[in-house]
A and B are shown apart, each in its own frame.
Chain A
């Protein structure tokens, strides 16, 4: 199993560790519910070093990223970040990702831990005649996420990067706890916050400094368990559950990442056709009406007939109810549509609800 450079920090805090896609990761410390609520009311600190980082550099860096991504990367100047995807030729997802413009000839892609090697191989296979250098330095990167309304007062004393003026989805280089870092105003929780990347081989002091600074503010370390409940309340997709190589961004309710005015990108033809014909299914949010918890892969029934499976589903610590995401036929996606989910030997009533389930109020 691989370890992040914060492994000792987690064990010192008594974290419950699990294996996640080949990594020894903390799933919880104090408890999923406590950590989730701490992030929503104060702040949470996450070790996300298992994520993948891919470097694209060279003369054709912009053109190459434009080719593999449906979103319009030309809108980014250095210091800007964009959410997008890696598309197959069929317009379906290889992965979703963030693109950081660090320099006109240097783009950093941040991808899911589960897909890093797959994504890099796919990108290398697309290189063709583009004058670019490609690199996968994921193992040299460490990454932390600090998320929550107290993120700025917790982090500002530790960094020379001016945090409050940073717009959402921008990034800056600077020092955090004395270590050289890239800081972006991004995250996967629906809260305000920052993601902190470093190539420093000994980043442990960054974790310790943030934990210490966060003590009077109610900061808690947060594991993978609450990371999932937080992102689902904010309706942020998870590859493998909500998006994969059988779903398009139009079906996944991410039409906004597809910029049709771009004349060329992988999967464009299929997406143009799908956009003209209309999608036949869509990813929507639901909650259970009856007692129970709907989880991924549980069968979904419309009018008693199975039409698919739950994509994502969990118990929401904030709303204390069972929430999730599911693909339904397009004519059954209106808010208020009722359907059923099979939970062991029962068929439990569920209803389509607006998303995101949670939107921050500051």
Chain B
């Protein structure tokens, strides 16, 4: 369920790293918890983000949720398709539902994150 090559945060974001480019999204657990996603506020290209700072907000019918950046870096791409089809986040949270791409500032940021096995264990702990 949770891709082995992704890293994960306690706030249910995932990051996939290729070279120094990080793709960020929210996990299947997060989208299921949110319910139907109906709106997303994406950051501007060029915005500088620290690890844990707010990327933007994602809204379901009933709630507003902040998305936090797992790593520091500069926004180089935002998934504009989500503006017209926010439901893609529900349908394919680990794939087409990606939210932003960052040029990473510090690969060391990944050390603080969980791998897939740890994230799944973390989720089991939450269900109790």
Contact = CB atoms under 8 A, between A and B. Distances in A.
Interface of A: 16, 27-28, 31-34, 225, 228-229, 291-293, 295, 314-315, 317, 344
Contacts, number: 38
A295 B41 CA distance: 15
B39 A28 contact: no
Interface string B10-42: 000000000000000000000000011011010
Given A31-B35, A32-B35, A293 B62 contact: no
Q: How large is the interface on B (under 10, 10 to 19, 20 to 34, 35 or more residues)?
A: 10 to 19
A294 to B, nearest CB: 11
A293 B39 contact: yes
B57 interface: yes
B41 to A, nearest CB: 8
A315 B59 contact: yes
Contacts of A27: 62
A-B CB proximity, top 5 nearest:
A315-B38, A32-B61, A33-B36, A31-B36, A293-B39
16 contacts: A16-B35, A27-B62, A31-B36, A32-B35, A32-B36, A32-B60, A33-B38, A33-B61, A225-B61, A291-B83, A292-B39, A314-B61, A314-B62, A315-B59, A315-B61, A344-B41
A292 B39 CA distance: 7
Contacts of A293: 38-39, 59, 64
Interface of A, helix, strand, loop or mixed by DSSP: mixed
Contacts of B35: 16, 28, 31-32, 225
Nearest to B83: A291
Interface of B: 35-36, 38-39, 41, 57, 59-62, 64, 83
Nearest to A320: B38
A317 B39 contact: no
Contacts of A32: 35-36, 60-62
A344 B57 contact: yes
Contacts of A34: 36
A229 B59 CA distance: 15
Nearest to B54: A344
